Amino acid sequence: MTKVCSQPQRTCLGCRQVKDQDQLVRFVRSPDGEILTDLKGRLPGRGAYLCNSRSCIETAVSRKQFDRTFRQPCQPITVDQLADGIAKELLAHMASLLGMARKSAQFVSGGNAVQDALTRRKPLAVVVLARDISPQIGEKVRRKAEVQKVVTTKLFDKIELGRILGRAQRSVVGLPDGKLAEAFLSDLLRYQDISGES
């Protein structure tokens, strides 16, 4: 008989719901009392957990839940600072996933190449447009992706996107269906929830 490994569960400081640990965002307290976002769960020390939701963050901040959980005073922090910290960590993780796609050659970049890929039988799973892409190219790619029901998003600028992919400036990149794209889309949904961006 095989054992089923159950995911550790934690309680959200805001809504008090018990959820699988990987559905929550972990925070730790630094030695000087600063609240640090620990998206990957690698920082040492006792953890505090929140849903990826502004309302849960607001509740935790207003009720001083971090002080209670860590059993000592924490540096004052605002809802916006916490939400920005989560968004920044998610962006960094999405950038690292794009970097992994580069190393494993699981990406398509450039306006024409991405548009070509969108016409194939097995289209892309997600298309990332640079925030400063030209409106004409961006709209062309977006419309083609919409027809294929492929998720599009605007992240990074052309220089950042190029740096992540180890190339010159890039205005558009596509990820084919697979585990990398799934992980990217999961982060993207969490990022959109916490940042309010679409």
User: pLDDT category, 25, cuts 50, 70, 90?
Assistant: very high
The region of weakest confidence among 11-15, 39-43, 83-87, 194-198 is: 194-198
Residues 23 and 104 in one domain: no
In this model, does residue 2 exceed pLDDT 60? no
Residues 133 and 188 in one domain: yes
Residues 57 and 145 in one domain: no
Please tell me the predicted confidence (pLDDT) of residue 145.
Answer: 94
Residues 191 and 111 in one domain: yes
Residues 112 and 54 in one domain: no
The angle, 0 to 180 degrees and rounded to 10, between the axes of the packed helices 54-62 and 79-103 is 140
pLDDT tens-digit series, residues 159-180: 999 999 998 899 999 999 999 9
In this model, does residue 21 exceed pLDDT 80? yes
Residues 104 and 146 in one domain: yes
**Which percentage of the chain shows pLDDT scores above 90?**
83
Query: What's the average model confidence in pLDDT over 181-185?
Result: 95
Residues 107 and 188 in one domain: yes
Q: 62: domain CATH number?
A: 3.30.1230.10
* Residue 24 falls inside a structural domain: yes
Residues 108 and 22 in one domain: no
- At residue 126, φ and ψ (nearest 5 deg) are -150, 145
User: pLDDT category, 142, cuts 50, 70, 90?
Assistant: very high
Domain hosting residue 152, numbered range: 97-195
User: pLDDT category, 123, cuts 50, 70, 90?
Assistant: confident
Give residues with Cβ within 8 angstroms of 97, minimum separation 6: 180, 183, 184, 187
Could you say which of 44, 77, 110 is where a domain stops?
77
* Residue 28 falls inside a structural domain: yes
Is residue 132 within 8 A of residue 157, CB to CB? The reply is: yes
pLDDT tens-digit series, residues 48-107: 999 999 999 999 999 999 999 999 999 999 999 999 999 999 999 999 999 999 999 999
* Residue 105 falls inside a structural domain: yes
Residues 66 and 101 in one domain: no
Residues 125 and 179 in one domain: yes
d(CA 163, CA 160): 5
Structural domain count of the chain = 2
- Residue 120: exposed, middle, or buried by beta-carbon count in 10 A (0-12, 13-18, 19+)? exposed
Could you say which of 18, 49, 77 is where a domain stops?
77
pLDDT tens-digit series, residues 30-42: 999 999 999 888 8
